[in-house]
Amino acid sequence: MGGPGFDRREEERRERAVLVGVHLPHDPDRPLSGPADTEELARLVDTAGGEVLRVIEQRRGGPNPATFLGKGKLEELKEAVITHDAEVVVFDNDLAPNQGRNLQKALNESCEEGEEVRVIDRTELILDIFAKHARSRQARLQVELAQLEYMLPRLTRLWTHLERQSGGIGTRGPGETQLETDRRLIGRRLAHLRKQLKQLAQERATQTSGRSDIFRVALVGYTNAGKSTLMRAVTGASVYIKDQLFATLDATTRRVEIDERRQFLLTDTVGFIRRLPHHLVASFRTTLQEVADADLLLHVVDAGAADPEHQIAAVNEVLADLVPTDQPALLVFNKMDTVADADLVRNGLARHHDQAVFVSAVQPEGAEILRETIIGYLRAREHVVRLRLPLHKVYLLGPWHRTGDVLEQVCDNDFCQATVRMRQEDARRLIARDSEVTEVPGS
């Protein structure tokens, strides 16, 4: 790579960006209402490959129907774009189609000829990051589905390139406009993507059907909370790790052997953020099914974050639409090595989360604490069963030794009694298999 005149700095050049955050009153019917979070927006822009040169914020009782911003702030934004020679303006809010068009028109009127500034909103930025990080076929399909669903109500004549895919001349109905053609083509593509994702979900269900009796644990949490690092520490497996938002989009599952009879599956999932677009969550439902199917959720939180409670609330908001209300979950405060006073932080967080675990994924004891915690949940599913069987049938205890822990075995002249710790469903299955083995009442 790199012929005459090639400059690697040009390849890595970051787009110049101006950020805009409009603080609005909270409105349950408006998904991106409430206070803006320009710090997180800056991290998203950095992940997408942009360089933040200016941040503009405004408080309003409601968005301007035409340009979202007030007239004065719009003039300030124009000046910032010119001063910093910005290429893209990113809003920490969702823009209506007409607002995006009006803003782009207003900003480009003040640009020099041949230059153009793009205006995108928070959702469009997140979709761009997801498209950049999608590696598997399933992730790419899910990202495309979310992008098309976002674009459908915002259609302009930018989609004329799709006309060629429809077969060209003779494929459109009489009097059909380009916009109608584009909508029809996108609708057809959306149906195709949903069909493919449904097939992948069915394939996944077939592949995982043999895992139904294995204890399943899913790592969930705010993006960049250290889930992948914890995954590597607990399993010893190689997983993709990078210090940026949404580095992981595909669910990764690894088997962890505890002893010759016990094991669990640990799954790393896509991270969440504040106000994650609802249709993006819906598009990634196939990937997030691993979360819904888990026996235990480990909700990983960055203990060194400026506002951990903010992250916890954002994740819980997404989980509310995905998992049963009675699904066991444990808070895991990670990155304790990054906090200045670990004892003070631990005590402060523990006052509100008394069952939480505090670890550092980069320290050996962190992985061990987490493994022991998971084993504790796994053992809590086990029961002590007392059995009785004829002495001459003692060989029937073989499967019980292989499946559970035989704590005690006492035999006299006629009978043997055994005390076994194991999963209740395994005990029922073995008792049903051999009528000579009976459970002692009260066990």
Q: Specify whether 375 is located in the same domain as 386.
A: no
| Residue at 240 is within a domain | yes
In a domain, 221, yes or no: yes
Task: State the pLDDT confidence band at 43, using cuts at 50, 70 and 90.
Answer: confident
CATH of the domain at 279: 3.40.50.300
Same domain assignment for residues 393 and 431: yes
DSSP 8-state symbol, 5:
T
Backbone angles phi, psi at 359, to 5 degrees: -145, 170
Please write down the HEC assignment for all residues of 214-259: CEEEEEEEECCCCHHHHHHHHHCCCCCCCCCCCCCCCCEEEEEECC
The answer to whether 263 touches 255, Cβ cutoff 8 Å, is yes
Count the domains in the chain.
Answer: 4
> Would you state the pLDDT for residue 165?
44
Of 379, 399, 421, which one is at a domain's C-terminal end?
A: 379
pLDDT at residue 237 in the model = 64
- Which whole number is the average pLDDT over 205-234? 79
Distances (CA, A) of 381 to 66, 194, 215, 328, 440: 58, 37, 10, 12, 20
d(C-alpha 382, C-alpha 412), whole Å: 28
Nearest partner of 36 among 16, 52, 56, judged by Cα: 56
Task: Write down the pTM of the prediction.
Answer: 0.73
Which amino acid, residue 106?
A
Is 129 a member of any domain?
no
Asked whether residue 220 falls in the same domain as residue 354, the answer is yes
Pairing of strands 382-390, 438-439: antiparallel
Whether pLDDT at 424 is above 60: yes
Angle, helix 178-208 to helix 137-151, in steps of 10 degrees:
150
> Do 110 and 186 belong together in one domain?
no
Average pLDDT, the chain: 80
Query: Are 152 and 282 contained in the same domain?
Result: no
- 240 pLDDT tier (thresholds 50, 70, 90): very low
Q: Is 396 found in the same domain as 362?
A: no
Taking CB atoms within 8 Å and a gap of at least 24, the contacts of 410-416 are: 414/390, 415/388, 415/389, 415/390, 415/391, 416/388, 416/389, 416/390, 416/391
* End position of a domain, from candidates 379, 401, 416: 379
Q: What integer pLDDT is reported at residue 310 of this predicted model? A: 85
Domain span at residue 39?
8-120
| Whether residue 245 is found in the same domain as residue 348 | yes
189 and 60 assigned to the same domain:
no
